[in-house]
């Protein structure tokens, strides 16, 4: 068994090999040889009167690869007056998230790893597959709403599938968007411009991506959406349904292969795939609902449908396409974490750990 930290994961994973691994895994999913359990959130009141403890977990397995993966994280969550979600563990600036990889051949624990760097690439690689299959092949400009780690990962992964040479970025904090523009311009050797208005980051762009931690909708005006655009989101909390309805082709990553029953409480769907909350009504009222639910996308074609039938994708330059980059979370972690484990094993990276402490002779 090996432990793989964020620094080694950053050395091992690239936009290209993450996209390749995820695309390969989707071919197995299409054959019914992979499974995904949706993210489950459990909210418990914490010591802070303005926050909650949130435990989140999700699982996935890819049978031909012989792996089962679980991802879990422990957060203290607060929601700001600026409608953003802030998370930490123990103290601001530190986080607790882990991935465990197991063999489905003999049950052996194979690896434990940090989830931070891998998570950002996992999300961005999924969005990049949407770009690969839906955006115009000559798309060269990108508008980004958001300037954090996810925005950085989206830009890197989108450049792996399209010739992006011009970027405009908007986020509410000027210092953050300016820092993003300077850093990304130098890193990628392309034009990255920070703009003062959201509409300036959207108008005239071939691709538009929302990469925010906002608890409120950020892309709400359908009039900003122009013929030929491709739109990618990060969460169901970012793009208004009126914007989605403006699009000619709407695809989703996919729906979980294992998840809550259809008769689950209707209210729960607006918090996530499966959410349980402890607390008084006043405490629970602090937890923001999603403006739209993932259930809005039920019935939309999935990425595997498009991979099997290109007719479900873009059929003209003028069409507007939208890729809902949420769903199949456990499956995606399985694909990218398995790739990281295989690379670490082959390159001799990570810290070797004895398997014995993870085994016992008392049946659980």
Dump strand ranges (E) for 109-235.
109-114, 141-145, 166-170, 191-194, 207-210, 230-232
pLDDT of residue 275: 83
Distance CA 6, CA 99 (A): 11
pLDDT of residue 293: 61
User: Are residues 226 and 204 in contact, defined by beta-carbon separation less than 8 angstroms?
Assistant: yes
In the chain, count H helices and then E strands: 10, 16
Categorise residue 328: left if φ over 0, alpha if ψ from -120 to 50, beta otherwise: left
pLDDT of residue 265: 45
Q: What is the pLDDT along the chain (364 residues), one digit of tens a residue?
A: 999 999 999 999 999 999 999 999 999 999 999 999 988 999 999 999 899 999 999 999 999 999 999 999 999 999 998 888 899 999 999 999 999 999 999 999 999 999 999 999 999 999 999 999 999 999 999 999 999 999 999 999 999 999 999 999 999 999 999 999 999 999 999 999 999 999 999 999 999 999 998 888 999 999 999 999 999 999 888 999 999 999 999 999 998 777 655 455 444 455 555 788 999 999 998 888 766 666 678 789 999 999 999 999 999 999 999 999 988 999 999 999 999 999 999 999 999 999 999 999 998 8
| Residue 49 neighbours by CB distance under 10 Å | 8
Rounded to two decimals, what is the model's pTM?
A: 0.91
How many angstroms separate the Cα of 159 from the Cα of each of 12, 15, 167, 303, 317? 18, 9, 11, 20, 20
User: Which domains are seen in the chain, by residue range?
Assistant: 2-118+330-353 (3.30.1780.10), 136-260+290-327 (3.40.50.720)
User: Are residues 14 and 20 in contact, defined by beta-carbon separation less than 8 angstroms?
Assistant: no
Beta bridge partners, 44, equal 53
How many angstroms separate the Cα of 46 from the Cα of each of 40, 53, 178, 212? 18, 6, 35, 25
Categorise residue 66: left if φ over 0, alpha if ψ from -120 to 50, beta otherwise: left
pLDDT of residue 271: 56
pLDDT of residue 84: 87
Q: How far is CA 334 from the centre of its chain?
A: 13
Instruction: Sort strands 191-194 and 67-79 into parallel, antiparallel or unpaired.
Output: unpaired
Work out the end-to-end distance of the chain between its first and last CA atoms, rounded to an integer number of angstroms.
21
Radius of gyration in angstroms for the set of CA atoms belonging to the chain, rounded to a whole number: 20
pLDDT of residue 295: 67
pLDDT of residue 117: 95
pLDDT of residue 97: 97
Distance CA 208, CA 230 (A): 6
pLDDT of residue 2: 97
275 backbone dihedrals φ, ψ, rounded to 5°: -130, 130
Contacts of 348 (CB under 8 A, 6+ apart): none
């Amino acid at each position: 068994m090996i432990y793989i930290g964020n620094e080694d994961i950053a050395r091992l994973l690239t936009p290209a090999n993450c996209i390749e691994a995820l695309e390969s895994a989707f071919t197995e999913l299409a054959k019914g040889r992979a499974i995904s359990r949706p993210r489950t959130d459990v909210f418990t009141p914490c010591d802070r009167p303005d926050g909650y403890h949130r435990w989140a977990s999700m699982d996935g397995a890819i049978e031909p690869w012989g792996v089962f993966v679980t991802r879990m994280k422990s957060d203290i969550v607060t929601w700001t007056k600026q409608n953003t979600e802030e998370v930490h563990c123990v103290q601001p600036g530190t986080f607790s998230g882990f991935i465990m990889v197991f063999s489905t051949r003999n049950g052996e624990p194979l690896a434990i790893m940090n989830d931070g760097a891998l998570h950002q690439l996992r999300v961005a690689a999924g969005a990049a597959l949407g770009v690969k299959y839906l955006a115009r092949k000559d798309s060269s400009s990108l508008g980004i709403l958001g300037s954090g780690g996810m925005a950085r990962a989206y830009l890197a992964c989108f450049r792996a599938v399209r010739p992006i040479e011009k970027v405009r970025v908007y986020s509410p904090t000027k210092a953050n968007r300016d820092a993003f523009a300077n850093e990304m311009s130098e890193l990628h050797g392309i034009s990255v411009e920070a703009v003062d208005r959201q509409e300036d980051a959207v108008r005239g762009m071939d691709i538009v991506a929302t990469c925010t931690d906002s608890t409120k909708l950020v892309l709400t005006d359908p009039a900003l959406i122009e013929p030929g655009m491709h739109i990618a989101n990060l969460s169901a909390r970012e793009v208004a349904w009126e914007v989605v309805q403006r699009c000619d082709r709407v695809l989703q990553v996919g729906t979980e292969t294992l998840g809550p029953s259809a008769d689950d409480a209707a209210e729960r769907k607006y918090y996530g795939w499966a959410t349980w909350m402890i607390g008084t009504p006043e405490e629970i009222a602090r937890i923001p609902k999603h403006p739209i639910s993932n259930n809005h996308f039920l019935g939309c074609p999935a990425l595997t449908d498009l991979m099997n039938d290109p007719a479900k994708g873009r059929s003209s330059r003028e069409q507007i396409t939208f890729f809902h980059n949420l769903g199949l979370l456990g499956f995606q972690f399985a694909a990218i974490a398995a790739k990281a484990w295989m690379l670490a094993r082959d390159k001799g990276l990570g810290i070797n750990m004895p398997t014995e402490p993870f085994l016992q002779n008392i049946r659980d």
